[in-house]
Structure 1
């Protein structure tokens, strides 16, 4: 594979950092939400970390988007079918959109929750822009959960595409994983 067939190093590093961060956020959220943070000190700590890492992901997505606008990504392999190209394009932009919307809904639900101790970014208090409001909290909480599961589904689709092209395509040139390694 030629060097120009790969994403720039900055995009590759951000891709893998965000992949780890986002999967950690999804599984951390999955683990902590069934428990009452007031009764479980560990869960309270998980919420604190979840909020901090959620805001970090929000910052990273803007760095990633600016990188994406600055660099022309390498072309997809010529042997990929048109449907696969369209699906890859959809999945990439859906992931970008979801990782912008998830921290916004998380911030909103945390900010509007009546008993919230506020939003912090690794110990730095972040101003709450929304008043406490049970109806807004419930809507944001519902939407945050739906978006998290949607992101998990799109990431699974993304990974399925990578595995398909790496291990099951007859054309070895379709191995898209090499572009991100």
Structure 2
């Protein structure tokens, strides 16, 4: 056991997340931040000429994010990270796990609900310019219901991301227990 209280061998770097997990984490984080920004911007210019490009790019990258999140979940299920340091109080360990799994749930639900909503819209879905088949007949009210859920999940996701980031920064600047470095390059 190291001076940091990790239950696994720190000398071999086993206390850290694997390189693919770190890469997926930060790639997904960047894409989600961009998606949130594009999503709010496109809603502000929804009726303006040229706004369709923003909607199409948002849908395309939403599908990319969904694929990366599924890949991240598969990786996480098959490559368990090392246990947290024993110095982390039990309530924080619980909060960390609940927040992480709530993030995964939102990261899955967000693009799926957006996809279904867009499938009910007249415009449908294109993936980087290629129209995808529609599974549903256009229905404005149903589309708006899904888009409303999509918007609610966006705000929940923002709150979870803020909690996750603040927790990581707390461990980096205050606790100095290397938990932040577990997911850093």
Fold similarity call, TM over 0.5: yes
The structure 2 residue matched to 1:35, chosen from 25, 42, 45, is 45
Alpha-carbon distance between aligned partners in 1 of 2:137 and 2:17, rounded to the nearest angstrom: 43
* Structure-2 residue corresponding to 1:138: 144
What corresponds to 1:179 in structure 2?
A: 182
Tell me how far apart the structure 2 counterparts of residues 59 and 90 of structure 1 sit (CA, whole Å).
22
Give the Cα–Cα distance (whole angstroms) in 1 for the partners of residues 49 and 96 of structure 2. Answer: 41
Question: How many residue pairs get matched?
Answer: 174
- Equivalents in 2 of 1:111, 1:166: separation in Å? 43
1:19 maps to 29
**Partner of 1:73: helix, strand, or coil?**
coil
Q: Distance in 2 between matches of 1:86 and 1:13?
A: 25
Match of 2:168 in 1: 162
Matched, 1:5 2:11: no
Partner residue of 1:56 out of 59, 64, 68: 64
Counterparts of 1:27-176 in structure 2 under 5 Å?
Answer: 27-37=37-47, 39-41=48-50, 43-113=51-121, 115-116=122-123, 118-169=124-175, 172=176, 174-176=177-179
Post-superposition offset of 1:137: 1.0
Unaligned runs of 5+ in 1: none
Residue 4 of structure 2: aligned partner: none
The answer to whether the Cα contact below 8 Å between 1:162 and 1:175 also exists between their aligned partners in 2 is: no
Deviation at 1:134, TM superposition (A): 2.2
- Give, in whole Å, the separation in 1 of the partners of 2:53 and 2:27: 22
CA RMSD in angstroms, aligned pairs only: 1.3
Greater per-residue helix proportion: 1
TM-score computed with the length of structure 1 as normaliser: 0.91
Contact kept in structure 2, 1:25 and 1:50, CA below 8 Å: yes
1:123 offset after TM fit, Å? Answer: 2.1
> C-alpha offsets along residues 125-172 of structure 1, whole Å, 9 cap, x if unaligned?
221112211221121011000001100100000001011111122xx3
* Further displaced range: 50-59 or 127-136: 127-136
CA displacement at 1:88 relative to structure 2: 0.6
